[in-house]
Amino acid sequence: MNISSEKIPNNIGLSSDRRLKRALENWQPAFIDWWMEMGPAGFQEHHKVYLRTAVGVDSKGWAHFEHVRMPEYRWGIFLAEPENDRRIGFGDFYGQPVWQEIPGEYRNPLRRLIVTQGDTEPASVEQQRLLGQTCPSIYDLRNLFQVNVEEGRHLWAMVHLLHSYFGRDGREEAESLLLRRSGSEDAPRILGAFNQPVTSWLDFFMFAMFTDRDGKYQLLALAESSFDPLSRATRFMLTEEAHHMFVGETGVSRVVERTAQIMRDSKGLSEDVRKMGGIDLPTIQKHLNLWYSLSIDLFGGEVSSNAATYFANGLKGRAHEGKCADHQAEEGTYFLDVPENGRMAREEISVRNAMNEILRDSYTEDCQRGVDRWNKVLEKYGISDRLFLPSKRFHRHIGVYAGKHFDPQGTPIGDEEFNRRKAEWLPGPSDYEYEHNLMREAVYEPDKMANWIAPPRRGINGLPINYEYVRTEE
Ligand code: BYC
Ligand code: FE
Ligand code: FE
């Protein structure tokens, strides 16, 4: 395999920056080794996948589609076009020009944000590496791989920043990004949800719906950064992120639709869905509960002095900061319900300390819109059951609700009740056994779709649904 630097499409003038080019050329073979070891298992050598590659940042023509072997994917480095005279949009330096270089005192916190962001990208590829062997169709197989190669590109985006602006520390961090492993005992990925196994396609769709959406909101917050190269890198990543959430939302929607069809045909009994080879609504709700709760943990603690400092220094803002009323946020309070002696007490916290919670609230509203669309499908089939987002207190491992138990409605409960009812609320071994069995036979014929999921509305890039999105080539 010949992967030369000319194959790194970029708009950062890489060919004229010899130092950076050399650094990336040194990192590239380690990336490819990592991809071969931890990327999609079983589809690297003899399969060509109909993939979208970013070849520029022009809003009309940035993507190019063709069949490629995944290890030959052209992972490129793109920054959104610079904004003329861009100014810092929030915090203590509001209105000053943005930074093209990093002021010394912000190197450590910025490096930490970039490393944390970068770490999630390869982690997700690791989590999803076996799913190709149980895919419901080659349309879905292609979407999985599209998401995987783009998460690889997001890693490149963060590694480019580490190599360009953080010297030797940055190079070391870039190496470590390829050494940690999702779920590993000794060297796990940094954030909780990225060490969780993803073993069923329902988990994958929920991950792309909820966990990739954390990506969207974190990227929106970083896109506001006073460090302009980070802002431009994340702004371009957001254009790719939309497709990941499309894969998640429509994936779940198609599962819901198939379930609704089965329920309609069997006169509305949820119990019969499994007998007919579908995924019943209570099981879908449990996966929703799991991935929503794991994903809201990714926003950090409700009360966070880290977040306040990031905001004060202009490193990380709110989503769509431009639409916020007060960009300094020096005054004002946020009300938070905090558990106290088994009851909830309302606490007042300063807005700056509540930045994680404010971002989480915008995220939750966005998730709710997706759940509403799933419920429209149930409505259309005349089914009265509804899916819902559990309370943000349910099943938390980070923040004020961690270490305490709540039911999905947010009512405080004891250990005994939680353990007794856990199997109603979260997927357990018998659910996974059912799903793994259901998905055991992958569907690789272009004209077929697994029984547990409805076909998509349309194919990729104007092509038919039964197009050969993944081809075998000897
Ligand atoms: N797991 O002050 P606090 C994506 C730690 S997803 C483990 O509340 P802070 C993608 C925290 O590090 C987007 N540890 O936290 C999606 C801190 O540790 P120390 C990823 C956690 O700093 C799908 C302590 O708890 N991007 O792109 O305000 C596929 C106290 O924390 C967790 C980013 O995350 C956790 N969930 O906020 C592919 C953006 N939460 O200091 C890709 C960059 C907190 O006590 N990261 N801790 O050692 C950040 O902005 C912040 O690091 C966080 C945490 C929002 C994650
Ligand atoms: Fe990503
Ligand atoms: Fe993503």
CA-closest residue to ligand 1 atom 17: 300
Q: In this structure, how many other beta carbons lie within 10 angstroms of the beta carbon of residue 162?
A: 24
195-226 residue pLDDT tens: 999 999 999 999 999 999 999 999 999 999 99
Residue 25 CA from chain centroid, whole number:
27
Q: Whose CA is nearest to atom 2 of ligand 1?
A: 304
**CA dist 232 to 119, 201, 243, Å?**
19, 33, 19
Q: What is the pLDDT of residue 97?
A: 98
Report how far residue 395's alpha carbon sits from residue 406's, in angstroms, rounded to the nearest whole number. 7
Measured CA distances, 93 to 114, 229, 245, 312, 317 (Å): 21, 17, 34, 8, 12
pLDDT of residue 6: 62
- Closest C-alpha residue for ligand 1 atom 49: 113
124 lines ligand 1 (CB under 6 A): yes
* Token representation of residue 57: 């940042």
Give the closest residue to 77 by CA, choosing from 191, 146, 160.
160
Residue 213 backbone dihedrals phi, psi, to 5 degrees = -70, -30
| Other beta carbons less than 10 A from residue 66's beta carbon | 10
- Cα of 191 vs centre of ligand 1, distance in Å, is 6
With a 6 Å cutoff on the Cβ, whether 122 touches ligand 1 is: no
Q: Which atom of ligand 1 is nearest to the CA of 359?
A: 55
Greatest Cα pair distance, the chain, in angstroms, is 68
Give distance in angstroms: CA of 147 to centre of ligand 2. 8
Cβ atoms of 44 and 70 within 8 Å: the answer is yes
Tokens for 395, please give them: 């099943």
Q: How is the chain split into domains, by residue range?
A: 85-472
- pTM equals 0.97
Q: How many CA atoms lie within 13 A of 123 on its CB side?
A: 27
pLDDT by residue (tens digit) across 234-284? 999 999 999 999 999 999 999 999 999 999 988 767 778 999 999 999 999
- Our answer on whether the CB atom of 299 is closer than 6 Å to any ligand 1 atom is yes
Query: How many angstroms is it from 406 CA to the middle of ligand 3?
Result: 30
Cα 395 to Cα 113, 130, 285: the distances in Å are 25, 27, 14
Ligand 3 centre distance from Cα of residue 241 (Å)? 5
Q: What is the pLDDT of residue 231?
A: 98
451 Cα: distance to centroid of ligand 1 (angstroms): 38
Instruction: Indicate the top mutation candidate among 158, 213, 239, 398 to test ligand 1's pocket, ranked by most ligand atoms within 8 A of CB.
Output: 398
446's tokens: 């272009």
Q: Which atom, in ligand 1's list, is nearest to the CA of 114?
A: 43
Task: State the CATH architecture for 85-472.
Answer: Orthogonal Bundle (1.10)
Could you tell me which of 200, 185, 356, 411 has the C-alpha nearest to residue 290?
A: 200
pLDDT in tens, the chain (474 residues): 334 446 688 999 999 999 999 999 999 999 999 999 999 999 999 999 999 998 888 877 788 999 999 999 999 899 999 999 999 999 999 999 999 999 999 999 999 999 999 999 999 999 999 999 999 999 999 999 999 999 999 999 999 999 999 999 999 999 999 999 999 999 999 999 999 999 999 999 999 999 999 999 999 999 999 999 999 999 999 999 999 999 999 999 999 999 999 999 887 677 789 999 999 999 999 999 999 999 999 999 999 999 999 999 999 999 999 999 899 999 999 999 999 987 899 999 999 999 999 999 999 999 999 999 999 999 999 999 999 999 999 999 999 999 999 999 999 999 999 999 999 999 999 999 999 999 999 999 999 999 999 999 999 999 999 999 999 987
Q: How far is the CA of 419 from the centre of ligand 3 (A)?
A: 33
Q: CA 228 to CA 123: how far, in whole Å?
A: 26
Question: Of the residues 120, 239, 311, which should be mutated to test ligand 1's pocket, given the most ligand atoms within 8 Å of the CB?
Answer: 120
**Which protein residue's CA is at the shortest distance from atom 55 of ligand 1?**
299
Q: Which residues contact 375 (CB under 8 A, 6 or more apart)?
A: 386, 387
Name the residue with the closest Cα to ligand 1, atom 5: 300
Expressed in angstroms and rounded, the spacing between residue 375 Cα and the centre of ligand 1 is 31
3-state percent helix, strand, coil for the chain, nearest multiple of 5: 50, 10, 40
For the Cβ of 127 lying below 6 angstroms from any atom of ligand 1, the answer is no
Check residue 5 and give its pLDDT.
44
Is the beta carbon of 398 within 6 A of some atom in ligand 1? yes
